Amino acid sequence: MKKKLIAGNWKMNGSLADNEALVRALVAGLASAGGCDVAVAVPAPYLAQVQALAQGSALALAAQDVSQHAAGAYTGEVSAAMLRDFGVRYVLVGHSERRQFHDETDADVATKAQRALAAGITPIVCVGETLAEREAGQTEAVVKRQLAAVIHLNGHCISEVVVAYEPVWAIGTGKTASPEQAQQVHAVLRAQLAAASDQAPRIRLLYGGSMNAGNAAQLLSQADIDGGLVGGASLKAADFQAIIAAAQ
């Protein structure tokens, strides 16, 4: 059976002091939690700090974004090779906040996923509908379009990718999709993956959007939910550890 993956997304939060306390607590707790994979996606300036703190532990390092360019005159961008230099294992691509506030298109997301894979980093490709899209009955069409953009990446199999379904209306709002609502969309994504690859059953599909210590177990018990992408609740060690425990 594939291990579940619980990935924290710190977003633009943290400080040297706060990160140290949080990562030390997580690393201590992980010693007894071998049943699932755990990662934290940290702001780029803290990659070196968290890499050092997590050294030798089961805590994997993730980044929140990657440039679609390999190198060169792209002020402010961080390349996949740079992430690799800091031991980054996963990178979020196409998070709804990037799509919304930085106008990332499906094509940009695909290029970023490709860059990550070429550097040996697993992209966590985020898909999800807005509230308006859900209310207009477009949920399936939107997530299928977003997934279709990354399903055939040159020279790579879709099984090298992690997919995160994050309904935009559930992110940071405290409104979680019900386990049934989430499972329904995950089943659609799984079927789309199955049509493209015989490896579909082993691809990890994460749910994200107000996952917390109280609702994680139910969400994670759904047939096609293989982990979580956790924002707010990943900033407090006890909350994140409770979610990790629910995934064991």
Among 26, 177, 211, 243, binds ligand PGA (CB under 6 A): 211
- Do the Cβ atoms of 96 and 168 come closer than 8 Å? yes
Closest to ligand PGA by CB, 127 or 151:
127
Report if residue 123 touches ligand PGA, rule: CB under 6 A: no
Closest to ligand PGA by CB, 56 or 93:
93
Interface segment toward ligand PGA; rule CB under 6 A; list 19-27, 104-112, 138-146, 227-235? 227-235
Report if residue 210 touches ligand PGA, rule: CB under 6 A: yes
Report if residue 146 touches ligand PGA, rule: CB under 6 A: no
The catalytic position among 95, 97, 104, 186 is 95
The owner of tokens 């040297």 is 16
Residue 77 token pair:
């961008």
Report if residue 214 touches ligand PGA, rule: CB under 6 A: no
Q: Report the 10 Å Cβ neighbour count for 75.
A: 4
Catalytic residue check, 152: no
Closest to ligand PGA by CB, 84 or 99:
99
Closest to ligand PGA by CB, 72 or 182:
182
The catalytic position among 97, 133, 166, 186 is 166
Looking only at residues 157 through 176 of this chain, which bind ligand PGA when binding is defined by CB under 6 A? 166, 171-172
Report if residue 182 touches ligand PGA, rule: CB under 6 A: no
- The residues assigned a catalytic role are 95, 166
What is the contact surface with ligand PGA in residues (CB under 6 A)?
9, 166, 171-172, 208-211, 229-233
